[in-house]
């Protein structure tokens, strides 16, 4: 089943390669969407694809790259729209 989720990640998540980490995890799973830094220091990602693959990327996001310290992940389910063909860093 195809699903979409938006993640907002708080903690030490900027300046530690978090966007690249998320990009690599999502791309490996064949997911589409994007990831970006927010002005307040958080990272936001929109991920769309197979539900099992999205769940695996969620686990990776909750862990983060080695230098990150994830304090909180807010998740919102969204309707999959198929608007993206790749996963990008914006």
- Which residue in this structure is represented by tokens 């769940």? 55
Q: Which residues contact 77 (CB under 8 A, 6 or more apart)?
A: 3, 4, 5
Catalytic residue among 5, 19, 56, 63: 19
Cβ proximity of 51 and 35 under 8 Å: no
Catalytic residue among 12, 36, 37, 56: 37
Q: Can you give the length of the chain in residues?
A: 90
Query: Can you give the pLDDT at residue 66?
Result: 96
19 annotated active-site: yes
**pLDDT-derived band at 82, boundaries 50, 70, 90:** confident
φ and ψ of 81, to 5 deg: -115, -15
Residues 16-71 pLDDT 10s: 999 999 999 999 999 999 999 999 999 999 999 999 999 999 999 999 999 999 99
What does the pLDDT average to over 3-22?
98
Whether 67 is a known active-site residue: answer no
Alpha-carbon Rg of the chain, whole angstroms?
12
């Amino acid at each position: 089943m195809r699903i979409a989720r938006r993640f907002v990640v708080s903690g030490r998540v900027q300046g530690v390669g978090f966007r690249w980490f998320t990009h690599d995890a999502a791309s490996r799973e064949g997911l589409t969407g994007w990831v970006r830094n927010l002005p307040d220091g958080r990272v936001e990602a929109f991920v769309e694809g197979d539900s099992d693959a999205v769940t695996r990327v969620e686990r990776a996001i909750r862990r983060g790259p080695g230098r990150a310290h994830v304090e909180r992940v807010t998740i919102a389910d969204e309707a999959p729209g198929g608007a993206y063909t790749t996963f990008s860093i914006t």
